[in-house]
Amino acid sequence: MDAGTWSSSRKITLRKASQENLDRFIPNRSAMDFSYAHCILTERKKEEENPVPMSVESHAYKMRLAEALNMNQSRILAFKNRPPTPKNFLSPPPPQPQRKRYIPRTSENKLDAPGILDDFYLNLLDWGSSNVLSIALGNTVYLWDASDRSTSELVTIDDDDGPVTSVCWAPGGRHLAIGLNNSHVQVWDSATCRLLRTLRGVHQSRVGSLAWNKDILTTGSTDGKIVDNDIRVGSHIVGTYTGHHQLCNLKWSVSGKQLASAGHDNLVRVWDRSMASSNSPTRWLHRLDEHRAAVKALAWCPFQANLLASGGGGDDQGIKFWNTDTGACLNTVSTGSQVCALLWSKKERELLSSHQNKLILWKYPSMLRLAELTGHRKGCFT
């Protein structure tokens, strides 16, 4: 190796060693604080030339101040660089893994329901705010109290008037509305098992849909009419809506300002309560016509006021989500089965759908299937 080559190789080696701080005997100037070094040297010299007596408290204060200002180091020379300071010194702790929620796959209770009508267009179950389930079995309405698991009979309708075609609890959980096959509607006090009122002359055929909005009971029939009834007054009809050929279901929004109706004509309509007494032939806010079969399943979202979910029958098998402010369809999900009913969770962002022989729990808005609950042999109600 000639002198020039050796010299170049020597320079490269020294440069690399300097960059990597490999030599532990040569101080690294870039890693030293010269101002701090000068301060330490001059302060020590002053203390040696002019010693000043210091109390224990003053000495402790001086040591604590030096520690806070990082002035308690004894070394002046530094032989390697300090590790780099983290970019985000106050970075949040790493997120804890979310606890996976347990979803039971078996039923907590099993109730016998002999004589329940196998009819897609009826609404024969309703769970009230007082934790009591109402069940219509033929001409009889039963009440099952979930708190003590007791069952009682509320009423048995005469054969000429029955069977019972719909049930719906009032918001307080005490009064129950019952729709009948003979077009009448009864309102019962469940605490005293007393008939409070019978609404006659409202419809011309069976009443399969009921929905409460405070003291207003909205009824829907196979005659296509939707009627608002104020049960507190004698002339109880206070508003009407027309637009369906045959009603399948009714649901008031959480605010009570909008009414959703679903029909055998494959339509979902959204109505404004303030327009119930209008004489306009088209009083609905939106006519939603994207389902390909009869629509019975309706559910208003409890955490988003303008979000409505609807489910179609056997030739549709889909769940659709609607913005009721604009009438736009936000999403469509195929379920592979007739959608009988829909129910939003009040604690999680989840939606439960019932089908011919199973329940499906969905995560919203991703619509991932969280669980499928089986056990029924035929139609499901929620």
**Whether the predicted pLDDT of 292 surpasses 90:** yes
Could you tell me the strand order of the sheet in which 368-374 lies?
341-344, 350-354, 358-363, 368-374
Alpha helix segments (H runs only) across the chain: 3-20, 34-49, 56-68
Residue 281 has pLDDT above 50, yes or no: no
Determine the pLDDT at residue 42: 72
pLDDT for residue 247 is more than 80: yes
| Cα dihedral 109, 111, 117, 122 in deg (nearest 10) | -40
- From residue 108, how far is each of 149, 373, 375 by CA, in Å? 11, 12, 12
The 10s digit of each residue's pLDDT in 357-380 is 899 999 999 999 999 998 776 655
- What would the pLDDT profile of 176-202 be if each residue is shown by its tens digit? 999 999 999 999 999 999 999 999 999
Question: Taking Cα atoms as reference points, which of 135, 136, 117, 119 lies closest to residue 127?
Answer: 135
Rounded CA separation 253/259 (Å)? 6
The token duo for 104 is 């039971």
**Closest to 284 (Cα-Cα) out of 271, 274, 273, 265:** 271
33-42, 51-60, 291-300 — which one is most confidently predicted on average? 291-300
The side-by-side arrangement of strands in the sheet containing 247-252 is 247-252, 258-263, 268-272, 284-288
The pLDDT, as a whole number, for residue 334 is 97
pLDDT exceeds 50 at position 22: no
- The confidence score (pLDDT) of residue 66 equals 66
Would you call 248 exposed, middle or buried from its count of C-beta atoms within 10 A (0-12, 13-18, 19+)?
buried
What span, in angstroms and rounded, lies between the C-alpha atoms of 228 and 211? 9
Q: What pLDDT is attached to residue 216?
A: 97
pLDDT-based confidence at residue 131 (cuts at 50, 70, 90): very high
Q: Point out the least confidently predicted range of 87-96, 157-166, 206-215, 328-337.
A: 87-96
**Which is more confident, 19 or 336?**
336
CB count within 10 Å of CB 241 equals 25
The candidate with the shortest Cα–Cα distance to 381, out of 309, 296, 320, 322, is: 296
Q: Residue range 110-121: average pLDDT?
A: 89
Q: Is 315 exposed, middle or buried (0-12, 13-18, 19+ CB in 10 A)?
A: exposed
In the predicted structure, residue 32 carries a pLDDT above the cut 90 = no
In the beta sheet, which residues pair with residue 133?
127, 144
Token pair listed for 16: 């690399």
| Polymer length of the chain | 382
Round to whole Å and give the CA distance between 203 and 347: 38
Determine how many CB atoms are found less than 10 A away from the CB of residue 258: 21
Other C-beta atoms closer than 10 Å to the C-beta of 90 total 5
**pLDDT score at 348:** 94
The pLDDT value given to residue 95: 74
Q: Which of 20-24, 60-64, 236-240 has the highest mean pLDDT?
A: 236-240
pLDDT at 68: 62
Q: Tell me what the pLDDT averaged over the chain comes to.
A: 84
- Of 168 and 116, more confident: 168
Q: Give 258-262's long-range contacts (Cβ < 8 A, gap of 24+).
A: 258/285, 258/324, 259/211, 259/213, 259/218, 259/226, 260/298, 260/300, 260/308, 260/310, 260/324, 261/209, 261/220, 261/226, 262/294, 262/295, 262/296, 262/297, 262/298, 262/310
Task: Read off the amino acid at residue 218.
Answer: T
Name the token pair of 334.
């195929």
Which residues pair with residue 307 across a beta bridge? Answer: 323
**d(Cα 245, Cα 7) in Å, to the nearest integer?**
99
Whether the pLDDT of residue 73 is over 90: the answer is no
How crowded is residue 184: how many other Cβ atoms within 10 Å of its Cβ? 18
DSSP letters of 140-155? EEEEEETTTTEEEEEE
Residue 232 belongs to what H/E stretch?
Answer: none
SS3 304: coil
